[in-house]
Structure 1
């Protein structure tokens, strides 16, 4: 079975890729990534910090220093998709002839021609409880709205945005002592696990049970500066960043103890 994994080239995308690669060893995998930077990420100070840590530091700095990622190709070897135009990114993706696509933290919208061309469909890992939190920055909006439990919805992709049948929802209790980054990482960890289980069902010839989304819902966009200022937790802190880095860059073998001696 050929599975295309579409992620974002950032720390959460790397974490998702690691989990999926470990759980989908039965499949022929190809890694694709979005590299899009939206204007707000360079204009709003809090979003600039997130981009700095999630991409510039984690991927452009730390990942370049790594020589091996185990079952996951080095992020520099992922195929970047700048768009999903018929003569551009869509052709690059479909030239792989995937039986199934799994999208996790991918920044591009799949056009209908791509959806129709993938025989077993496209599974999307959306870090928000659907249908209430469609669109962008779902973990942020769930925290800002004081949700006691955050959701990450795994669903099939249809012609709408975050509107397809639901395969499962991973739930993460809100922890006021943790940052937005920590909650986001936890949501993706739960979501990609459900997506991998659905892919395994498909590989065995089955069809994952999907539930039609309820009517209604809300679509969110990037938060404004005043929204970010009202967030009840920090967007990141040193401890949470270190924890997410550790998950994305696990040690390959036990580290040797460092011996220190006093200078003569």
Structure 2
């Protein structure tokens, strides 16, 4: 059984990779990461701050000095995917011949040829309540729009964007004393746990329960500087950053069988 783990090379992607490595030790794992960036990340001050903390500090600095964990290669050894073209990233991913793909905070959209090539399907961890919060920066938009409870939807990938059958929803109550980063990490933590359970069921030849998404919904894009100015909580706090770092760099649970692809 081969499972491809597709994440973003940042602090939340590291948290997802760590959780999945700990829970999917029955399978041969290979870790892929998207390295796509958007111009808004350089133009909007709040996005520059998030990149600094989530990538430059957490991954490019701290992860470089951490010893590797059994079953989880360091982020520098994840296979980078710059695209999912047939002759590019898609070929690299499918060369692994994954039975299952798990996508969590992955910045690339899976084309139909990739979806059809993965026998047991692609599971996506989307940090927004679907169908109401499709697209980008779902935790941000849920907070900005005053949701009292934020959702992270785990679903199977189909030809649409965040439209596939729902496997489960993790929920995080909104806490006005905590930051956007804290809420985002909590959403991924709950969603990845659901995805790991679904992947285990698929790996055993079963079919996890799912329900079609309701009709309707909305799609969101990157927030602008004015949107960040209206956010009712800070982007991050020292306390929250320390907690998320601790979770992302926590050792894997001892005693779990681990395998990974060479």
Shorter-chain TM band: over 0.9
Aligned to 2:159: 159
| CA deviation map 1:25-72 (0-9, x unaligned) | 001100000011111001100000000000000000101111223321
Structure 2 counterparts to residues 1-264 of structure 1, below 5 A: 1-250=1-250
C-alpha displacement of 1:10 = 0.3
| CA deviation map 1:112-165 (0-9, x unaligned) | 000010000100000000000000000000000110000000000000000000
C-alpha displacement of 1:98 = 0.3
Q: Given the two structures, how large is their TM-score scaled by the length of structure 2?
A: 0.95
SS of aligned partner of 1:48: helix
Distance 2:37 2:70 in 1: 28
Q: Could you list the structure 1 runs, at least 4 aligned residues long, displaced by more than 2 angstroms after superposition.
A: none
Q: Given the two structures, how large is their TM-score scaled by the length of structure 1?
A: 0.94
Measured on the aligned residues, the alpha-carbon RMSD in Å equals: 1.1
Distance 2:136 2:251 in 1: 32
CA contact (8 A) 2:7 2:105 kept: yes
Distance 2:188 2:122 in 1: 17
Distance 2:69 2:13 in 1: 13
C-alpha displacement of 1:251 = 5.8
| CA deviation map 1:72-121 (0-9, x unaligned) | 10111100000000000000000000000000000000000000100001
SS of aligned partner of 1:245: helix
Distance 1:90 1:96 in 2: 10
Unaligned runs of 5+ in 1: 253-264
**Which structure ranks higher in relative contact order (CA pairs < 8 Å, sequence separation ≥ 6)?**
2
Distance 1:126 1:249 in 2: 22
Question: How many residue pairs were aligned?
Answer: 253
SS of aligned partner of 2:161: coil
Larger Rg, first or second structure (1 or 2): 1
Distance 1:57 1:229 in 2: 24
